[in-house]
Chain A
């Protein structure tokens, strides 16, 4: 176990963190902005993977699938928004959780009907299917691509949220939606835009993850729990919270698996419990 071993594991942790980030940022912003608990977010991730595989199978082009899949998922998200989510906005968290949890199973069975029960795979594009050697290790290029993708999304979101007018509008609406509305911000339309953007990121995470993890009908439910943990640990509604949360969980799960395999499954939940007891609002909540 030399330095290159640790570097390899750090990259593994980064790669997992970035996938968690792509999922949790959408969830947390929708959560923080709309006070809406959208558990079906994880199903959109699954749909992203399946649509990516289908588009790629039909056209033979990975990058086209990579572009189209988030768009298809966004359209599905928009349909959900107008049929269910918008109506459920005022219904209180318990009803929202029940409806969106039910939605997970509806989407799961629709996927089973459409794509079958057998796990499907997606080949990484040829230009990323080799390994890259540096500093004494060789690492799959596709995983480096995911790390880069996560970092690009992270930085551009920070720039948009902190340095642009729409970012200021979103932050204002998270802080106090009524006040923002009375200042002339069209909060309803803003909500819809943010919701669509969150869906697109979920679809993007799905199609990006498909070449590494196969697409299965259970992939949505299995990723939902770590994603919720990231959101709760990081703090609802904040970009910094999602970044911190996904890095903590990504590194904790990876190094837990390497160093304390028998404990790794418990470590995350111990951390979650500790955060809920000592800092229930999360490490970096949106509102102070």
Chain B
């Protein structure tokens, strides 16, 4: 009798022991581009995300399934469906292209599986088309450019000429910049949108910008387009100063731009040279782990990991509870103080104005000004 009891206790203990990790386990689906135009960004975000989880020593707690969305909206939607319906993930992290986010939005909203957006800046995703299941830890297109419009007008730039690729992000970046710049007393003398992904030679556009007589050129370009633009701006020896959305001189590829990038002034939500203890520790750990400087994309992945763990710590065990906990997340990270605005589910963060400078033979970022706690308006968002 005694031994039977003892056996029962052992079996009970075993059952609890086996059950415990299964209870704590959270299934995460990474939906990121690993091939195509945005592959480098997908890899950078994944690096940051993995680092956050590993650093906290919690890699046992999270089962991570990665899916390649390429830069194609239908592929992104199919991968999201697969993760939710087949793999039954509790939460998804990722999305680089705003187009992919647009395609996934309704499915995510209806499936009620939270999506932590780690890049795509489409204003609508935390505006008109906001959802309690879509939380953004990266940035919105307006958030990065609005403060720069005001800042430039207040710092003596009276007229600008703008350039950006002809697609939704390009239009959103420029229109939010122009609105803020005009509101602060500046004047936009001319504006051009170049064919997206096809424009290689910016010579003709640069000549137009120069001919407009504006005091400054403000542009948004990212990736290969940014490298081409900055190099060609440099080769024409244009005297009109160049300003831009910070992606223009992102640490991820500024080295390829070379000396032409020196003196370009831009605004971004993160630069690796921020002098805060949080950032110094992050940069050091990142360098030790990957051997390169982190970029804003790595930080977005890192913060997606931190936000997810914070939501789990606040009682997030399944899709519903994680979605409910995410908007309450706030902490001080490499970027500075961060919080999620529960009215839009977009991040509230500092925007940094920085110059690209040459220091000890390498291009680096010099902080010029900080615009604290930039919060997006509730532009038609109803949760």
Contacts and interface: CB of A to CB of B under 8 A. Distances in A.
B40 A117 contact: yes
Which residue among B195, B204, B228 has the maximum number of chain A CB atoms within 10 Å of its CB?
B204
Which residue among B194, B199, B203, B223 has the maximum number of chain A CB atoms within 10 Å of its CB?
B203
Interface stretch (A138-146, A183-191, A194-202, A228-236): A138-146
A216 B224 contact: yes
Interface in A1-51: 1, 5, 8-9, 12-13, 15-16
Given A129-B235, A214-B227, A214-B256, A222 B208 contact: no
Given A222-B198, A261-B192, A117 B235 contact: no
B224 A212 contact: no
Nearest to A261: B192
B208 A258 contact: yes
B224 A116 contact: no
Contact of A214 (B40, B201, B228, B237): B228
A5 B199 CA distance: 20
Interface in A181-227: 211-214, 216, 218-219, 222-223
Contact of A1 (B43, B211, B224): B211
A103 interface: no
B378 interface: no
Nearest to B34: A117
A138 B37 CA distance: 34
Contacts of A143: 203, 235
A121 B232 CA distance: 12
Interface residues of B, number: 35
B256 A258 contact: no
In the complex, which range does the number of interface residues on chain A fall in?
35 or more
Which residue among B224, B231, B232 has the maximum number of chain A CB atoms within 10 Å of its CB?
B224
A143 B231 CA distance: 12
B205 interface: yes
A69 interface: no
Contacts of A1: 211
B88 interface: no
B200 A213 contact: yes
Nearest to B207: A8
A211 B258 CA distance: 11
Contacts of B197: 218, 222
Contact of B201 (A16, A112, A121, A261): A16
B188 interface: no
Contacts of B43: 117
Contact of A12 (B195, B201, B223, B231): B201
Nearest to A1: B211
B192 A131 contact: no
A118 interface: yes
A131 B161 CA distance: 23
B193 interface: yes
Given A123-B258, A265-B198, A131 B237 contact: yes
Interface in B165-206: 192-195, 197-201, 203-205
B377 to A, nearest CB: 30
B204 A9 contact: yes
A118 to B, nearest CB: 5
Contact of B207 (A12, A109, A112, A261): A12
Contacts of A264: 195
Contacts of B252: 118
A13 B257 CA distance: 23
Nearest to B40: A117
Contacts of B235: 124, 129, 131, 140, 142-143, 212
Given A1-B211, A129-B235, A131-B237, A118 B253 contact: yes
Contacts of B381: none
A213 B228 contact: yes
A127 to B, nearest CB: 14
A209 to B, nearest CB: 8
Contact of A258 (B198, B207, B227): B207
A258 B204 CA distance: 6
A49 B361 CA distance: 25
A180 interface: no
B32 to A, nearest CB: 12
B256 A213 contact: no
A15 B236 contact: no
Given A216-B224, A258-B204, A265-B198, A131 B236 contact: yes
Given A13-B204, A219-B224, A265-B195, 10 more contacts: A16-B201, A112-B35, A121-B255, A131-B236, A140-B237, A218-B37, A257-B194, A258-B205, A261-B192, A261-B194
8 contacts: A13-B204, A112-B39, A119-B227, A131-B236, A140-B235, A212-B228, A212-B232, A262-B193
Interface of B: 35, 37, 39-40, 43, 192-195, 197-201, 203-205, 207-208, 211, 223-224, 227-228, 231-232, 235-237, 252-253, 255-258
Interface of A: 1, 5, 8-9, 12-13, 15-16, 109, 112, 116-121, 123-124, 129-131, 138-140, 142-143, 211-214, 216, 218-219, 222-223, 254-255, 257-258, 261-262, 264-265
Q: Pick the 10 closest A-B CB pairs, nearest first.
A: A121-B256, A214-B227, A117-B40, A117-B39, A12-B203, A140-B235, A119-B224, A216-B224, A131-B237, A265-B195
